[in-house]
């Protein structure tokens, strides 16, 4: 799968400069609330849908997009320019075209109603400090990374344990790993490391391949 992040070292020529090669992309716009409203209109044009699908299927340049989507060079250039303007298609690490999954995550967050439990964690009951820590390290129900500071790490691990495991219930290691993989998707921490930290910090107890969250763990890991 191509890298979904744009490479800052890639320089695109100015499409308004007639002396340089034509660039079908144009500058990527920062996220604005209006971008969410513009998304249906962006995909209301068949050529853009076909061009986007071609990129998602691995077309790395405009020629491949035109061939896979069955579009003319002019249609391809126009479609890719609009997709680039909305930030849903970007240049990858090697200059190839890729879908910007981060852009769609931004749009999903913007569309999520306030207070949606699947969104970023709300401030914890013990004060806004814990809420700020969680909003920094947990995004959309995913662990971005573990804090380096011990006190902050306790807050994050406690949050994950309380959201994932019922106190006193026994879980086989396979089930624990399956639940923790969801937290680790697209993050810097793998589920094995996260499981080890939960055990080390007392949020899970392990015995013979069986794990359980202690009933008294609500008193463990407070900041």
The full DSSP string for 155-218 is HHHHHHHHHH--BT-EEEHHHHHHHHHHHHTTSSS-HHHHHHHHHHTTSSEEETTEEEB-GGGG
| Cα(23)–Cα(12) distance, integer angstroms | 7
Q: What is the mean pLDDT of residues 210-222?
A: 66
Contacts of 122 (CB under 8 A, 6+ apart): 115, 131
Helix (H) or strand (E) holding 139: strand 138-139
- pLDDT for 151 equals 87
Q: Which two three-digit tokens encode residue 146?
A: 């573990």
Over residues 109-140, the pLDDT tens digits come to 666 554 444 444 444 444 578 888 888 888 88
| Cα(211)–Cα(11) distance, integer angstroms | 51
Query: 186 falls in which pLDDT band (50, 70, 90)?
Result: confident
The model's pTM is 0.42
Q: Which among 216, 201, 104 has a CA at the least distance from the CA of 147?
A: 201
For residue 57, the SS3 value is coil
Give yes or no for a contact between 95 and 62, defined as CB atoms under 8 angstroms apart: no
Over residues 20-72, the pLDDT tens digits come to 444 444 444 444 545 566 777 788 889 998 999 988 888 889 999 999 999 99
| Cα(45)–Cα(76) distance, integer angstroms | 12
Helix (H) or strand (E) holding 90: strand 89-91
- pLDDT for 109 equals 66
| Cα(17)–Cα(20) distance, integer angstroms | 6
| Cα(102)–Cα(197) distance, integer angstroms | 28
Query: 141 falls in which pLDDT band (50, 70, 90)?
Result: confident
Query: 148 falls in which pLDDT band (50, 70, 90)?
Result: confident
- pLDDT for 124 equals 42
Which residue segments constitute the domains of the chain, with CATH numbers given? Answer: 1-111 (1.10.10), 116-219 (1.10.10)
């Amino acid at each position: 799968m191509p890298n979904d992040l744009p490479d800052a070292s890639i320089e695109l020529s100015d499409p308004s400069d007639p002396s340089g090669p034509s660039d079908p992309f144009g500058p990527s716009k920062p996220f604005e609330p209006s971008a969410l409203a513009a998304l249906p209109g962006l995909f209301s044009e068949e050529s853009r849908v076909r061009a986007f699908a071609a990129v998602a299927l691995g077309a790395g340049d405009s020629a491949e997009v035109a061939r896979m989507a069955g579009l003319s060079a002019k249609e391809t250039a126009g479609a890719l320019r609009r997709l680039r303007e909305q930030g849903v298609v970007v240049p990858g690490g090697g200059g190839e075209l890729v879908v910007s999954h981060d852009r769609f995550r931004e749009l999903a967050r913007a569309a999520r109603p306030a207070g949606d439990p699947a969104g970023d964690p709300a401030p914890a009951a013990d004060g806004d400090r814990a809420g700020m820590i969680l909003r920094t390290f947990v995004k959309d129900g995913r662990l971005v990374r573990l804090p380096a500071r011990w006190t902050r790490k306790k807050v994050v691990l406690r949050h994950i344990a309380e959201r994932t495991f019922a106190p006193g219930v026994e879980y086989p290691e396979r089930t624990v790993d399956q639940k923790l993989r969801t937290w680790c998707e697209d993050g810097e921490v793998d589920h094995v490391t996260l499981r080890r930290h939960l055990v080390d910090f007392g949020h899970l107890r392990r015995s013979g391949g069986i794990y359980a969250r202690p009933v008294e763990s609500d008193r463990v890991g407070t900041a």
